[in-house]
Amino acid sequence: MDKSLIGDPLSRVDGRLKVTGGAKYSGEWELPGLAYGVLVPATITNGSVVSMDVKAAERAPGVLAVITPFNTPGVPGFKPDASQPVRGLKLFNDKLIYFNGQPIALVVAESFEKATHAASLVKASYQQDVFETDFDKNRDKGVVPQGGKYKDYVRGEADAYKKAPVVIEQEYRQPSEMHNPMELHVTIAAWDGDDKVTVYTKSQGVIGTQRSIANAFGLKPENVQVNSRFVGGAFGSSLRTWPHEIASVMAAKLLKRPVKLTLTREQMFTLVGHRPLTIQKIGLGATSDGKLVGITHESISQTAVYEEFTEGSVNVSRFLYESPNANTRYKVIPLNVGVPAPMRGPGEATGSFALESALDELAFALKMDPIELRLKNYTERDPERNLPWSSKYLKECYTRGAERIGWENRPSKPGTLREGEWLAGYGIGCGAFGAFRGRALAKVRMMADGTVNIQSATSDIGPGTGTAMTLIASDLLGVPAGRITFELGNSSFPTAPTQGGSSTVSSVGSAVHDACMAFKQKMYALAGMPENSSDPIDYVAVLKQHNLPFFELTEESQSSQQAKNYSMYSFSAHFAKVHVHPLTGAVKVKRLIAVVDAGRIVSYKTASSQMIGGAVGGIGMALTEEAIFDHKYGRYVNGNFADYHVPVNADIQDIEAIFIDKPDPYINPIGTKGIGEISLIGVAAAIANAVFNATGKRVRELPITPDKLI
């Protein structure tokens, strides 16, 4: 893998299709007889539906069906005695209401406009119960999640930080952030008889969606065809099969015609998950020269009353820095909200904001440079698992990032550096996320003309999966990238894991690697050459010699036993320079440098794009994004794009990604680790720390809005 093609700045192989409108997304398929579904939301926050008046809706022009809890055809997997019961919210299965906006009916009509009009005519009477949406009011109701995974963690002595000469104790607050990718969630379902169904949906894992739908309707997995070739952004919102997807399949079966169900933008705020509101307490204790004595990290976050959601917000404090004593505690509060979901950097993004902010506060208390403090507590092996790292170049990240951002210009005394009328400051925030490799398969087929087709049932939610796989195959086979096509997003292709957890290139890339290597060995054998030959081979001549119109093989790839002897993580160090206006409190991120230790970088161009995209998300987390609840009615005040603020072009200035680009020797044959999560983890802390350096004001509650600075 030392050839020049790996890392080559190849443009996205599907880029032209996307920018010219040739890419067909899930909601753009036109099927004969297609009907349109619109969900009707509940207007209460807790209780039950007593009765529903759907007569006006049923009489409305073009209406085909109005499905409610009173006439639902039912889903086999909803039954308690199902072999594999559907988890989470089961739409129309009962009359209970768990959160405001929960769907209570599905109207299906001949057009989307007619379905929307008819949905507005559905009336419901409710039995209202007391609801709880106020996190602070219910904070004492936090519970340890089910199972042993989230029990309290203790290494050494619990709360040992309290005995240290220098102590930091602070609380940090992260509001709910909502999943709102550009593409709305859309599902089209079409049955072929009673035992086969084809589904077009926004999915990060077509195999997982296939399995979920098969379980729900009692079908063989091979009788469920799931298509999701193009995904207009997801980063967690499509990791699971949502209730509305099951509802569309149910409606299509009832009507015996294809049904397309599209969520509205407002419904995206309630039905596809969110980063949960979380409050964290950090206790750090250190010696006077900056050596950590103890770390205590407590986190409590919201979940739904009908389904428990958990994430590893405290985990980063167990291993990122050397400390003889470390302990974590994690709880959740069930509230009348839609269930949260993993959101880019799940858990670790939230946890790193608290830990990295607290570390910055400790550095200030010690009158020590924040990078010096991190180096003082650098870990040469994983202190949580007591294993060596498979690879770790975080020190190099510190050095290169500090040099690039101009860290020497950072004032040791906050609020003293001005650039024109603006206060200026610098901050650092570090990120870490597990480097994973799952089981994956890939099929390689070469045609008689030398063109290559590769298939794997993976997804591409934006990082450029097809581009990376094309580069790997081109490098190994010696075939130009323009003569290789990589197909994905189809459940009939060889099995691949869901795209999540920054593991796609490591998992699917390894399958492509192994399949290409096996293919070359077969070709060498057919040519009568030694398997380990380094001589070039004329594939077309070999196929012609054996009168083969094509040659194909499928290869499976998975992690080695040796990998279990190492702790595997990707690391990042984010450096921010900000300007803060002293009169208005406006914050501008002038520069953001992301330095990445993620093994071998397969595609510099798309990897840089990944890092920039993650940084933009981190800017939103730090400065703009916040879901606001009206606790009188139990619903979001800003459940729309006008009032829920995401970063726009004017907010984004200079962002740069720097890659250490040293292969990990143990994780996979390519030596690559993931970057999707660490592109965001640590960014919010870097910005918050830079704001403190600029102003001397420490903001511990995100987002950092002007009212918190003036």
Domains of the chain with bracketed CATH: 34-130+180-271 (3.30.365.10), 153-176+274-435+565-708 (3.30.365.10), 438-558 (3.30.365.10)
Alpha-carbon dihedral sign for residues 196, 198, 199, 203: positive
Q: β-strands 259-262, 224-227: how paired?
A: unpaired
pLDDT < 50: residue spans in the chain: 1-3
556 is catalytic: no
Counting Cα atoms < 13 Å in the Cβ hemisphere of 254 gives: 22
Global pTM reads 0.97
Written as one letter, the residue type at 537 is I
CA nearest neighbour of 503 among 264, 689, 258, 678: 678
pLDDT at 533: 80
pLDDT at 650: 93
Residue in the block written with tokens 């596809």: 272
pLDDT at 534: 81
> At CA 709, angle to CA 707 and CA 710, rounded to 5?
70
pLDDT at 535: 86
Q: β-strands 635-636, 587-597: how paired?
A: unpaired
Question: Distance of alpha carbon 475 from its chain centroid, rounded?
Answer: 29
CA nearest neighbour of 593 among 574, 620, 579, 618: 574
Contact between 75 and 34 (Cβ < 8 Å) = no
pLDDT at 8: 77
Alpha helix segments (H runs only) across 26-171: 55-59, 112-119
C-alpha 221/C-alpha 439 separation (Å) is: 18
Please tell me which residue in 361, 555, 677, 701 is annotated as part of the active site.
677
Which helix (H) or strand (E) covers residue 426, if one does? strand 422-434
pLDDT at 4: 54
**How is residue 83 written in tokens?**
């072999």
Contact between 179 and 644 (Cβ < 8 Å) = no
DSSP character string of 494-535: SP---S-TT-HHHHHHHHHHHHHHHHHHHHHHHHT--TT--S
pLDDT at 660: 98
For 45, phi and psi rounded to 5 degrees? -110, -20
pLDDT at 34: 98
What are the strands, taking DSSP E only, across 264-396?
Answer: 274-275, 278-286, 292-304, 325-335, 381-382, 387-388
Contact between 592 and 611 (Cβ < 8 Å) = no
**How is residue 149 written in tokens?**
């995974």
C-alpha 624/C-alpha 57 separation (Å) is: 40
**How is residue 100 written in tokens?**
């405001």
**705: number of Cβ within 10 Å:** 17
